[in-house]
Chains A and B, each alone.
Chain A
Amino acid sequence: MHNTIRRLVIGPVMATMALTAPAWAEDSFQPPKMTAFVAAGAGGGTDNFVRTIQPMLEERLKTNMTVINLPAASGVLAHQRTANSEPDGTSLDFASTTFITSRAAGQNPVGLDQLTPVARMQSDVMMLVVNPEKYDNLEEFMANARENGQKVVIGGTHAASVDRMAFLGLNKQAELELSYIPYDNEGSASASLLSGNVDGMMNEISAIQGYMEAGRMKPILAFSAERLDAYPDIPTTAENGWDLTFGNERGVFINAQTDPATISAIEAAFKDIFDSEEYQTYAKRSNLDVRAGWLGSADYRQALEKDLAFFEELMADN
């Protein structure tokens, strides 16, 4: 009897709460503590990204965020700890495209069923970069690549990196047989390019600005659909008829079981950060504004699923 009454009273209350839930959550998802797992080592691009965002997010969600770097094994541990965390929205995983490439390479057991993307904040443009003393433009490079095949060597980072995916994609779409040498880090790959030991390098536009200005490196191919406003002289993959449009992306992931309302609250906070002048100044300074970065949760998931399928296909061929 009592139960019935209680149900009668609580029912409508619950219904009202459910209806107002999104707005309510957006205003008051304010956990006292949050944890940011970073799928990269201290000091790199992804780490800088997290540490720049940290105070902005703390201000908006009125919280304290602890940053934990878990660089081992391409950041797999960061994904795993986020996937195993309480699904209450307080554990975030800051990752780059490596999340998807290491998944495609079979190194990462955590997939998009366990982690849900919250937002994409950055989308860098992949470039094929050469030493201007060796090649002047894409035509020269391609002529040599067709003639010498395997002897033309491209440098980049580790075997499951987005650099290698770009390389595999180029080999496939342009029907080339170039060789790839993975270096421990971007710096070593750059050194090899500067010294002329490799013919080309896969790298993001943001990382090579200084060398470009000094005339020691030259990007000859942009992996994008349209020519970049800032660099109208660099030919694109699309105009060569190659369907390769990607680069390193950086975004935020969360345990897939988290309440959708909480996810949208966090997404809204990130959107607000992305639109802020403070964040845009940082993006501009780090040359991360060449291509629009923002993608919301649903769109980002779609983009990632498409990329994952493409990378898996590339890995299967090799």
Chain B
Amino acid sequence: MFQDLLGGLWVVLQPINLLILTSAVLIGFVGGALPGISGVILVVILLPVTYSMEPTGAFMLLTAIYASSVFSGLITAILYRAPGTPEAVMTAIDGYPMTQKGEAGKALGIGILSSAIGGMFGTLVLILATPFLADMALQFSSPEFFALAVLGLTVVASLGGNLLLGLIGVCIGLMIASVGIDPLTGTIRFTFGSLHLMGGVNLIPVIIGLFAISEVLKRCQEGDIHLTSKSFKIKIFDWPVIRQIRTTIVRSSILGTVIGILPGIGASTAAMVSYSETVRWSKDRSRFGKGAPEGIAAPEAANNAAAMGALVPLFALGIPGSGTTAVILGAFIVHGLTPGPTFMSGNNELIYAVFVGLMMVNVMILVFSKPFIAVLSKLLDVPYSVLGPIIVICCVVGTYSVQNSMMDVWLMLGFGVAGFLLEKIGFPLVAIILGVVLGPIAESELRRSLALSQGDLSIFVTRPISAVLLLIAFVLVTVTIVAPILRRKRARRDETA
């Protein structure tokens, strides 16, 4: 393997390939930073360009764009609360409050470092363990995915804030997720006869509406404040901060990689689960949502690690672990290559060149992100009365381009107004996103599990992995609900005594 890696390095160091990698990173940066233009779209746009290229160069280009776009979604999430990619939704929750506190530089530094470390960790696992891990991931079937989604949904209990509002939020999210063609029976649900709603509500309009548009509306109401205080300096290696977030980064990198490897769920889910686990493990939960450094480190380490992890089943089994990797799988086939069991043995040079290339991309993120953000953040000097409309335009264009659908744009604007109003009453918007992302997984995997077991519910407890996951979820919910009650009782007893 060491020799293969050296061979890969040699291929990557060819001037033409270095040029490809560098431009891929920059393309990924720009695409990731624009809301609505995700890694998937970039890879698709550039796919025809790669037809005439050598396969090695082509796949270095595509995978590098994918890796760097997952990273750069955090920039606009932190600066404007407009996540550039779905993967960066959770980053906005603590990143944006830090910007509001005038700590944008610190927030970006944490994001960059966590992303790079998460990405490197994921790549390392990808290189070392691809054949072995892919087989492990196959152990996960419907009951396990259902249990994982349930575990994710219980997060709402530990997010802090008003538990009842959180539960209502999850239910709203689940309701949104149930619109469209029922994936299992093909029955049409809640579409009110609209063809556009038949495909269901896409995640992008919900995210962009709830987070970006609602923020612009809020700012409109506050009047034109020129944010001169926002000038910042990014410090990536800030040792006191690193000491604070290092356990979070390590835990989230591992969690992210593992979730990424599982077929079918990708970096967005990884960011969500690791954020919630970080909140759970934290001693002082009230800091989250108000600008906690761990709140940035967790999702960023996890989503970059997961992006690399998602490549494991792609290379080893030919099964994509996420939406973007599904497109990359298509690209392989167009180039006459079929990833899967036979692929690993026959295309060593290509595979190791791609692996080494991905490692270099994560290093380049550390090097290039600072100047790139410096250019991008010049925007902050622009008054909000100009910047706000630009953000809205980007959101509209980005949303439209996902499915070429005007309906999505209207939905996005609708969710924007809804998000604006809900925030006024202190509603946790994340809860809605949780429901929208995890709802479809939970629903269809539950029904698939029951179809597998002919309706026997015991399938969830007789399979060890799903049993453990559900048990954890159950304990966590019970603890979050019971603990405050006990504490209150004790306090009352103390008072009376």
Give chain B residues whose Cβ lies under 8 Å from the Cβ of A158: 181, 183, 186
Which single member of B195, B333, B343, B403 contacts A69 (CB below 8 Å)? B403
Which residue of the partner chain A has the closest CB to B333? Answer: A286
Q: Determine if A187 and B319 form an interchain contact, defined as CB atoms under 8 angstroms apart.
A: yes
Is A195 an interface residue, CB under 8 A from the partner?
Answer: yes
Q: Determine if B141 and A51 form an interchain contact, defined as CB atoms under 8 angstroms apart.
A: no
Is B336 an interface residue, CB under 8 A from the partner?
Answer: yes
Q: B39 → chain A, closest Cβ, in Å?
A: 12
Chain A window 43-77, contacts with chain B (Cβ cutoff 8 Å), 1 for yes, 0 for no: 11101100110100000000000001111111011
Is B105 an interface residue, CB under 8 A from the partner?
Answer: no
Q: Determine if A77 and B181 form an interchain contact, defined as CB atoms under 8 angstroms apart.
A: no
Chain B window 436-464, contacts with chain A (Cβ cutoff 8 Å), 1 for yes, 0 for no: 00000000100010011010000000000
Contacting residues of chain B (128-157) with chain A, CB-CB under 8 angstroms: 137-142
Is A123 an interface residue, CB under 8 A from the partner?
Answer: no
Which single member of A74, A185, A214, A216 contacts B326 (CB below 8 Å)? A185
Give chain B residues whose Cβ lies under 8 Å from the Cβ of A181: 184, 448, 451-452
Q: Determine if B403 and A71 form an interchain contact, defined as CB atoms under 8 angstroms apart.
A: yes
Give chain B residues whose Cβ lies under 8 Å from the Cβ of A192: 141-142
Q: How far does the alpha carbon of A286 sit from the alpha carbon of B334 in the complex, in Å?
A: 7
Q: Determine if A159 and B186 form an interchain contact, defined as CB atoms under 8 angstroms apart.
A: yes
Q: How far does the alpha carbon of A115 sit from the alpha carbon of B62 in the complex, in Å?
A: 36
Q: How far does the alpha carbon of A51 sit from the alpha carbon of B334 in the complex, in Å?
A: 10
Of A136-144, A205-213, A259-267, the one contacting chain B is A205-213
Give chain B residues whose Cβ lies under 8 Å from the Cβ of A258: none
Q: Determine if B338 and A194 form an interchain contact, defined as CB atoms under 8 angstroms apart.
A: no
Is A285 an interface residue, CB under 8 A from the partner?
Answer: yes
Q: Which range holds the interface residue count of chain A? A: 35 or more
Is A183 an interface residue, CB under 8 A from the partner?
Answer: yes
Is B428 an interface residue, CB under 8 A from the partner?
Answer: no
User: Provided the pairs A48-B330, A48-B334, A184-B183 are in contact, do residues A77 and B196 lie with their beta carbons within 8 angstroms?
Assistant: yes
Contacting residues of chain B (414-438) with chain A, CB-CB under 8 angstroms: none
Chain A window 179-200, contacts with chain B (Cβ cutoff 8 Å), 1 for yes, 0 for no: 1011111011011101101100
Is A172 an interface residue, CB under 8 A from the partner?
Answer: no
Contacting residues of chain B (275-314) with chain A, CB-CB under 8 angstroms: 313
Give chain B residues whose Cβ lies under 8 Å from the Cβ of A160: 181, 186
Q: How far does the alpha carbon of A89 sit from the alpha carbon of B318 in the complex, in Å?
A: 39
Which single member of A42, A43, A210, A285 contacts B340 (CB below 8 Å)? A210
Contacting residues of chain A (105-145) with chain B, CB-CB under 8 angstroms: 105, 107, 109
Give chain A residues whose Cβ lies under 8 Å from the Cβ of B328: 43
Is B389 an interface residue, CB under 8 A from the partner?
Answer: no
Q: B190 → chain A, closest Cβ, in Å?
A: 13
Is B180 an interface residue, CB under 8 A from the partner?
Answer: yes
User: Provided the pairs A160-B186, A184-B444 are in contact, do residues A51 and B199 lie with their beta carbons within 8 angstroms?
Assistant: no
Q: Determine if A210 and B185 form an interchain contact, defined as CB atoms under 8 angstroms apart.
A: no
Is A25 an interface residue, CB under 8 A from the partner?
Answer: no
Q: Determine if A187 and B326 form an interchain contact, defined as CB atoms under 8 angstroms apart.
A: yes
Q: How far does the alpha carbon of A191 sit from the alpha carbon of B181 in the complex, in Å?
A: 23
Is A276 an interface residue, CB under 8 A from the partner?
Answer: no
Q: How far does the alpha carbon of A71 sit from the alpha carbon of B454 in the complex, in Å?
A: 32
Q: Determine if A151 and B333 form an interchain contact, defined as CB atoms under 8 angstroms apart.
A: no
Is A153 an interface residue, CB under 8 A from the partner?
Answer: yes
Q: How far does the alpha carbon of A150 sit from the alpha carbon of B455 in the complex, in Å?
A: 11
Is A248 an interface residue, CB under 8 A from the partner?
Answer: no
Q: How far does the alpha carbon of A195 sit from the alpha carbon of B44 in the complex, in Å?
A: 30
Is B11 an interface residue, CB under 8 A from the partner?
Answer: no
Q: B328 → chain A, closest Cβ, in Å?
A: 8
Q: A283 → chain B, closest Cβ, in Å?
A: 11
Is B264 an interface residue, CB under 8 A from the partner?
Answer: yes
Is A80 an interface residue, CB under 8 A from the partner?
Answer: yes
Q: How far does the alpha carbon of A18 sit from the alpha carbon of B75 in the complex, in Å?
A: 62
Give chain A residues whose Cβ lies under 8 Å from the Cβ of B318: 187, 190, 210-211
Give chain A residues whose Cβ lies under 8 Å from the Cβ of B180: 73
User: Provided the pairs A77-B405, A184-B444, A195-B138 are in contact, do residues A213 and B342 lie with their beta carbons within 8 angstroms?
Assistant: yes
Q: Determine if B40 and A42 form an interchain contact, defined as CB atoms under 8 angstroms apart.
A: yes
10 CB < 8 A contacts A-B: A43-B328, A150-B454, A153-B452, A158-B181, A181-B448, A182-B184, A191-B138, A191-B319, A194-B138, A195-B140
Q: Which 4 A-B pairs have the closest CB atoms?
A: A72-B199, A43-B327, A210-B340, A159-B186
Given contacts A71-B199, A73-B181, 7 further A-B contacts (CB under 8 A): A69-B404, A160-B181, A182-B184, A187-B320, A187-B329, A195-B139, A210-B340
